[in-house]
Structure 1
């Protein structure tokens, strides 16, 4: 069963470039956030799967952002490609050496420059505008935090939650996003009470897709409890706007699903290889998947 979970999950993220493919070339670069950051711990946990789904749900609540997705994205024809590219960006900006961070940010900024148009409610949009970049970035940060607090091994302390948000503002600043709330409470309020949010047909189309994406049956069986786990963390206003409410027991089922992923996958192999690259100690018991041969050789050489 464990091998099946690993294969099904990792297969979702194999439809595009591989993150950190040459990260060991930059040893001992600690990257933008570094091995002592809260971000490495949060993004490296299985709860990040729930956080990623939650971010996609919440991002649809901004009419100009969802219009850009509907009018410019290929997510319907290439859903796993989009998922892989998003995962690539999060992984490289979180764990990458500085050249990898800068490359990932520039790739996103280049992709956003031509994304312009007019939303369903008649407002012009540009994905390169600081306020729209802020919605996408801040929702991603807030969703990873909400998922970790609900389904992580143990909730972060208020101090660590604030540290996570502050660390993520460094990535947002490279993207040109503005504003960037710097504490967990401020970020939570900024997202939940954002004045630009509204229900649109574009939102409905995106939510229908997220509710039932075109995945193979075994993968879909694993996706559904994670989707419901994400819905269970939505505040009331956002739940109302996106038209979703959790099924009975969604939170508890989400904890079981996340614990199963944690048992099968361990913590992120990207976290593991980045610890090796930076020369930091590797905690016992966190990682299940084998290191690449080059990383094993680096560890042996240091020993």
Structure 2
């Protein structure tokens, strides 16, 4: 990796990471983190944290179908989260298609521009915005894996981070700190300097943890709210756990997420399930099998809405 300057509050250093394909080789720490099913199952922080950026929040609320379509419901949000995780993981796990996934990540965001939640003009394809959003995703992934699985060693943790830096490098991210220790200093400074955590997009995502805010499919919208609350309790519990396990205490405070008396006990139970009930090698193979199955029999989003042909047609 190249050397970065000392941490400041003036933005991420404008440096490019050296190309390190070995960091994403099968079996490497980053490959294991990207394939880990818990990242997908508890993936809400990876979607939520970037929305603290005033530009990302505005663009998502204005352009994303789960927010613009009044008929969107919980399954649409689930599919949106799946697509986000698969796009991120696909840069490292999609084999021969990985270069196209990286291309899709770049091309999808290049035309996005407007005025952010604070009224300031922005263009998504700028170094600072691009890096800030990737740093937010990396923060969520590393926090989730470390908090639930636990890093087996410091070397594993550091190589996992560097592999995520390599993942971002493949779709144009510049300025990520050169080590995880440095990231732990730089990210909170940049997060707090830029974040607008009380925006409408964030509030609509957080509302998914409440029965009133979790939109039902059309055929269930006549269901009385108490029955809907009971029926969706496991889903909403899982969403709460993802926020508790994947966000730092400072980030939860910024978002106004308050712990309930039972949350910590529930979080300990979730950790036990992943650390004892589903060993690391087993979950890794399950994650690889999911990606292989999606590639062989499914229609991942980089082959449909974000294919080269679709992105070219949108520009035309």
Q: What TM-score do the two structures reach when normalised by structure 2?
A: 0.67
Q: Could you list the runs of 5+ residues in structure 1 that have no partner in the other structure?
A: 1-29, 278-288, 294-303
Cα gap change, 1:246/1:183 in structure 2, threshold over 3 Å: closer, same or farther? Answer: farther
Q: Could you list the runs of 5+ residues in structure 2 that have no partner in the other structure?
A: 1-20, 218-227, 298-316
Contact 2:48-2:205 at 8 Å conserved across structures: yes
1:237 and 2:250 equivalent?
yes
What secondary structure is seen at the aligned counterpart in 2 of 1:117? strand
Query: Separation in 1 of the partners of 2:30 and 2:176?
Result: 16
Cα gap change, 1:96/1:128 in structure 2, threshold over 3 Å: closer, same or farther? Answer: same
CA positional deviation for 1:102? 0.8
Query: Separation in 2 of the partners of 1:51 and 1:249?
Result: 18
Question: Aligned runs of 1:136-285 on 2, under 5 Å?
Answer: 136-152=133-149, 154-194=150-190, 195-212=193-210, 213-214=214-215, 221-257=234-270, 260=273, 263=277, 266-268=282-284, 269-272=286-289
Contact 2:102-2:171 at 8 Å conserved across structures: yes
What secondary structure is seen at the aligned counterpart in 1 of 2:55? helix
Cα gap change, 1:252/1:100 in structure 2, threshold over 3 Å: closer, same or farther? Answer: farther
CA positional deviation for 1:130? 2.0
Moved more, 106-115 or 191-200: 191-200
Query: Separation in 1 of the partners of 2:152 and 2:183?
Result: 15
Query: Separation in 1 of the partners of 2:264 and 2:30?
Result: 23
Please give the root-mean-square deviation of Cα atoms over the aligned residues, in Å: 3.3
- By percentage of residues, which structure has more helix? 2
Question: Aligned runs of 1:17-32 on 2, under 5 Å?
Answer: none
Q: What TM-score do the two structures reach when normalised by structure 1?
A: 0.69
Query: Separation in 1 of the partners of 2:139 and 2:45?
Result: 9
Contact 1:229-1:246 at 8 Å conserved across structures: no
Query: Separation in 2 of the partners of 1:219 and 1:37?
Result: 37
Query: Separation in 1 of the partners of 2:195 and 2:134?
Result: 16
Query: Separation in 2 of the partners of 1:56 and 1:273?
Result: 20
